[in-house]
A and B are shown apart, each in its own frame.
Chain A
Amino acid sequence: MFTRSRLIVVAVCLLALGAVLANAPLVSSQGLTITAAAIEGDLPLDAPDSALWQQATAVEVPMSAQMIARPIMPETNAKAITVRALHNNAEIAFLLEWQDATRNDSTLSVDAFRDSVAIQFPLIDGQPFYCMGQQGGDVNIWHWKADWQAALIAQRSLQDIYPNIYVDQYPFADPAVETEGDIYLAAYTDLDYLTAEAVGNLLALPVHLSPVEDIVAGGFGTLTSQSLEGQNVQGYGEWSDGVWRVIFSRSLTSAEAEDVSLAPEKLYSVAFAAWDGANQERNGAKSTSQWVSFQLAGAPGTGAAATTGAAAQAPLTARVAAIQPTGFNALFWGFIALLILIPLGIGVVMLYFHLGNKP
C-alpha cells in the first residue's frame, strides 16, 4: 500500500510539472474574459462618453514590454489597458482606455512618433504566439494611429509644424490643386515624387478613410497592410487629461481570409498592444498583453452577468494611477501559487491513503 501511494505522489508531481512546463495554464491563469455586451440599436462608434459603454463590463488587461525580439525597450509606458466591448449582432465595438501623459499625434517631424494602440485576433483556432503570431499562425491586427486620427479632423501640412518654412515651388506639384492656396498640401501631378505612395504603401496616403489600419501578420517582421479595399475597420480616439480613449469598430463577420470573423457564444482570444510616441515607442518597442479570452454575449443584457473574474471598474480617468501587475508579475505569482498548490494536493492525497489504511 505504501508503494502504491508513493507511485501516486510521483504521478501527481509529474503531472503538475508537465502543466508548469507546458505553460498552458499560466497564460489563462490571469482568468480574464472580455465579454462584448449585446445591445439593441446603433453602437457608440465615436462616443467614448456614451452611457451605452456602462452596459459593458470593463476588464483591465495588464501589459508589459515586449522582451522577445530586438529591438527591445524594457521600460515602456503603458502598464495596463481597460477594455470594454459592445455588439448589436451586426457590428462590434471596443473601447480601449489607457494612461498616456502626452498626446503625440503627428509623425511629420523627423523625430516625432505617434501614440497608437492595437487589437490582435488569431486567424487560426487556438492561440498562436501572442506577439504578432507565428509562421502558420497568422493574426489579424487592428492598429489605431493618433496621427491618422488627427489628420481626419484636420490635415496638417509642413507649415503647421514649421511655421517659417519657405519653398518657392515643388516641381511636379500642381499649384492648381493646392488646398486653400497651401503649397504644402498641393497635389502631385506625378505620384513618383511621393515614392512610398506611388508604390502603394498605405502609410503614405495623404488622407485615410479611417484612423485604423487593418493588418495581417505571421511572426516578427511580417506585418503587412491589407489592401486598400480590405481596410474595413473604423475607429475614433480622443485624448484628455492623460488618458487615451479609442474605439474600434467593424462588422462582426468579414468575407476576407485576412480578417477575423466573430460569432456569438464562441470563445476567442484577443491581445492588445500600446505605444507611447513620446517615449519613441514604435515597432517592437511596445507594451503588449498576453492573450485574453473574448466572447460575444448571446442576448442583450447578459454581458455583465456572463463576465467572471473581472469586476466592473470606474472610468480610467477617475482612478488614481496604481501600479499594475505586469505580465511578468502575473506569471511569477501564478508559478508561486502552483508551487503551494501542488504540495497541498499531494498532502491531501497522502492523507486520504493514510486514513484509508487505518484499521
Chain B
Amino acid sequence: MPDVYNWHLGRKMTYPYPEAHPTKQFAAVFNINRCIGCQTCTGSCKATWTFSRGQEYMWWNNVETKPYGSYPQHWDVKVLQLLDEAHQAAGVQPQWDHSQASEQAPYGVYNGLTLTEASGPNEQVLGYLPAESEWRSPNFYEDTSTGYKGGAYGLSPDGASLPEHQAWFFYLMRICNHCTYPACLAACPRKAIYKREEDGIVLIDQERCRGYRKCVEACPYKKSMYRGTTQVSEKCVGCYPRVEGADPLSDGVPMETRCMAVCPGKIRLNGLVDVAEDGSWVENPKHPLYFLVRMEQIALPLYPQFGTEPNIYYIPPRWAPRPYLRQMFGPGVDHAIERYTAPSRELLAVLQLFRTTQKMIFRYEIEEGPLVREAEINGKPWQMYDDTVIGFDAKDREIVRLSVVEPLHERPMERLNSI
C-alpha cells in the first residue's frame, strides 16, 4: 500500500491509494463551548436531505451528549476498543511525541496504528458494522452528566469551578468529516466513493453503490448510512449545491451548509480552505479557518488517531476532564483551551464571525477599536478591545461587519411592549 502524509499525525501512514489532493477542502470549526444542544442543525439537515422513505433513522447531522451519548450507540468507544486491541496484539503503546511538533506536524508525531494500519491482511480498514439496535436512539443519554462523587444528593457544597468540573457533560455535534483520507473510500470494494477535486467533499456514487456496507463498517465516525429502500448507502453530502454556489440565495458564491447556517448558538463556521499539492493548507493568515486551526490552533480534529485526517475541527469544552479530551482531540487540547480561555485580540474578533452570514467567508479584516475591559484570567492580565471584524465572500465582497461588543439598543419607555 502507498504511504500518504497525514499532518494531524505528523507522519506518513499507509492508505490504499496514493496522495491526490483537492484544490480546496470543505472544512469547519465547531465551538463546543457555545453549543446549547438545541438540535436545530439536526432538524435542518433532516428537513433538507433525509425525510424520505428508508431514511427514517438517518441523522447525517447529530448532536450527542458526551461522555455517554453516541449515535450509533457507543460508536467511538467501540472503535477505540478495536484500536486498543490491535495495539495490544502488535505490542505497541500508542503515544504522541509533542516534542517533534513542527509546521508540518502541529500536534507532534503519533506512533500508534491508524485504522488503515491496524486492519490486518483481510480488510482495508479496521472497523465494525453497527447492529440495527445501535441506530435506534440517537438521543440516548441526552443531557446526562457524569455522576458527582462526594456531596449528599449529588450536590457539591462548593459549586462547580474550572478548570475541570467534577460532574460534567458536553455536546458533540457531528457531521461527516469529509476526511482527507476517508476510511469509507478506502474500504469500498467498488470505488463507488469519491472525494471531489473542487472542494474535497466525499460522496457515494448512487449509481455504482451496491449496498455492501463496507463504508458503514469502515467509517469510524459512522457517517455512512445504509438505506434499505434503495439498497444502497448514503451519507452527508456537505450540502454541495450550496457549497457550489448553486443555491438561488447564494448569489453565485459558496454558501455554508444548512446545519452551519441555521445554528442559533452561533457555534459553527464553515468554509473552503486552499490545499497545496502536498495536502497541506496553503498559508493564508487572514482566512478565518486557517487562522483558527493552523495559527491559533484552538480548533482540533476529532479522534485524529483514527488516521483519516478529518476536516471538522472542534474547540474543546473548557470544563471537561483533560484526559478525556486528549483522547478525543489529541495532544493539542491543553493549548487550545488555554488560548480560548484568554483569547488574543485577533482571535476574539474572529470568533465573532461564526454564523453571521450564510455565505462562506474567505477573508477577514480587522479595524481596531478602543480598549473596553481589563481583567485577570488564570493569573495573567487580559485586555478586551472593541474591534470590528469584516468578512469577505469568494468574490472578495464585504458580506458581514461586526464589532466585538454587541451594540446595545435600549427600547424607549413608550414602546416597552412593542414588538
Chain A residues near B (Cβ < 8 Å) = 69-74, 107-113, 158, 165, 167, 170-173, 184, 186, 188, 193-201, 203-204, 206, 220-221, 223, 280, 282-284
Give CA–CA (A206, B206) in the complex, Å: 15
State which of B30-38, B126-134, B151-159, B272-280 sits at the interface with chain A. Answer: B126-134
State how many angstroms separate the Cβ of A283 from the closest Cβ of chain B. 4
What would 6 A/B residue contacts be, using CB atoms closer than 8 Å? A71-B214, A107-B211, A184-B53, A195-B206, A203-B232, A204-B206
A130 to chain B, nearest CB (A): 17
Of B79-87, B117-125, B354-362, the one touching chain A: B117-125
What is the size category of the interface that chain B forms with chain A?
35 or more
Q: Which of B129, B190, B191 contacts A111 (CB 8 A)?
A: B129
CA distance A316 to B241 in the complex (A): 55
Determine how close the nearest CB of chain B comes to the CB of A184; give it in whole angstroms: 7
Given contacts A70-B124, A221-B190, contact A196 B213 (CB under 8 A): no
| B230: A residues at CB distance < 8 A | 194-197, 201, 203-204
Interface of A is mostly: loop
CA distance A165 to B54 in the complex (A): 11
Q: Which residues of B contact A188 (CB under 8 A)?
A: 52-53
Q: Evaluate contact between B56 and A165: CB separation under 8 angstroms.
A: yes
> What string of 1s and 0s marks CB contacts (under 8 Å) between B211-233 and chain A?
11110100000000111111110
Determine if B190 and A223 form an interchain contact, defined as CB atoms under 8 angstroms apart. yes
- Residue B207 at the chain A interface, CB threshold 8 Å: yes
User: Could you say which of B131, B212, B231, B232 contacts A283, with CB atoms under 8 Å apart?
Assistant: B212
- Once the chains bind, are A158 and B207 in contact (CB under 8 Å)? no
Known A-B contacts A70-B122, A111-B131; the reply to A173 vs B225 at CB < 8 A is: no
Instruction: Please indicate the chain B residues that have their CB under 8 angstroms from the CB of A184 in the complex.
Output: 53
Q: A71-B124, A158-B229, A201-B232 are known contacts. Are A173 and B132 too (CB-CB below 8 A)?
A: no
Task: List B contacts of A172 (CB < 8 A).
Answer: 52
A107:B228 contact, CB within 8 angstroms: yes
Given contacts A199-B207, A201-B206, A283-B214, contact A109 B232 (CB under 8 A): no
- Point out the residues of chain A lying under 8 angstroms from B57, CB to CB: 110
B232 touching A170, Cβ below 8 Å: no
Tally of A-B residue pairs with Cβ under 8 A? 114
* Chain B residues closer than 8 Å to A186, beta-carbon distance: 53
Is A71's CB under 8 angstroms from B189's CB? yes
B130: which of A111, A167, A221 is its contact (CB, 8 Å)? A111
Q: Which residues of A contact B54 (CB under 8 A)?
A: 158, 194
In the bound complex, CA of A73 to CA of B388 (Å): 60
A327 to B153, CA, bound (A): 67
Min distance, Cβ A168 to any Cβ of chain B, angstroms: 11
* Residues of A with C-beta under 8 A to B56: 158, 165, 167
Q: Is B345 interfacial (CB 8 A cutoff)?
A: no
Contact of A203 among B123, B124, B216, B231 (CB under 8 A): B231
Given contacts A71-B189, A220-B189, contact A170 B53 (CB under 8 A): yes
Asked if B52 and A109 make an inter-chain contact with CB atoms under 8 angstroms apart, the answer reads no
Q: Is B209 an interface residue (CB 8 A)?
A: yes
Q: How far is the CA of A110 from the CA of B226 in the complex (A)?
A: 6
**CA–CA, A109 to B57, complex, Å?**
11
A223 to B228 Cα, complex, angstroms: 21
Please give the distance in Å from A85's CB to the nearest CB on chain B: 28
Q: Which of B210, B228, B234 contacts A109 (CB 8 A)?
A: B228
Please tell me if the beta carbons of B123 and A200 are within 8 angstroms of each other in the complex. no
The reply to whether the CB of B392 lies closer than 8 angstroms to some CB of chain A is: no
Are B231 and A170 in contact (CB-based, < 8 A)? no
Say yes or no: A194 contacts B53, CB within 8 Å. yes
Query: How far, in whole Å, are A235 and B329 apart by their CA atoms in the complex?
Result: 53
From known contacts A70-B123, A196-B207, A199-B206, infer whether A170 and B228 are also in contact, taking CB-CB under 8 Å. Answer: no
Would you give the shortest CB distance from B60 to chain A, in whole angstroms?
13
With A70-B123, A204-B230 in contact, is A196–B206 under 8 Å at CB?
A: yes
| Interface flag for B141 (CB, 8 Å) | no
Complex Cα spacing A186 to B121, Å: 45
Does B135 sit within 8 A of A, measured CB to CB?
yes
B211 and A203 form a contact (CB under 8 A): yes
B228 A108 Cβ-Cβ under 8 A: yes
Give A29 to B130 CA distance when docked, in angstroms.
43
- Bound state CA distance, A70 and B212, in angstroms? 13
Instruction: Please tell me which one of the listed residues B53, B214, B231 contacts residue A158 in the complex, with CB atoms under 8 A apart.
Output: B53
Contact partner, B52, options A71, A193, A200, Cβ 8 Å: A193
Not counting A71-B214, A196-B227, a sample of 6 additional A-B residue pairs whose C-beta atoms are within 8 angstroms of each other reads A70-B121, A70-B123, A74-B122, A111-B130, A204-B206, A283-B190
Instruction: Please provide the chain B residues from 9 to 47 with a CB less than 8 Å away from any CB of chain A in the complex.
Output: none
Question: Which B residue sits closest to A200, measured CB to CB?
Answer: B207
One digit per residue, 1 when the CB lies within 8 angstroms of any chain A CB and 0 when it does not, for chain B 101-118 equals 000000000000000000
Q: What is the minimal beta-carbon distance from A152 to any residue of chain B, in angstroms?
A: 15
Q: How far is the CA of A98 from the CA of B225 in the complex (A)?
A: 32
Q: Does B51 contact A (CB under 8 A)?
A: yes
CB-CB nearest in chain B for A147: B231
In order of increasing CB-CB distance, the 3 nearest A-B pairs are: A108-B228, A204-B230, A72-B122
Bound Cα distance A158, B216 (Å): 20
CA distance A173 to B53 in the complex (A): 9
Q: Do the beta carbons of A195 and B234 come within 8 Å of each other?
A: yes
Determine the residue in chain B with the shortest Cβ distance to A201.
B207
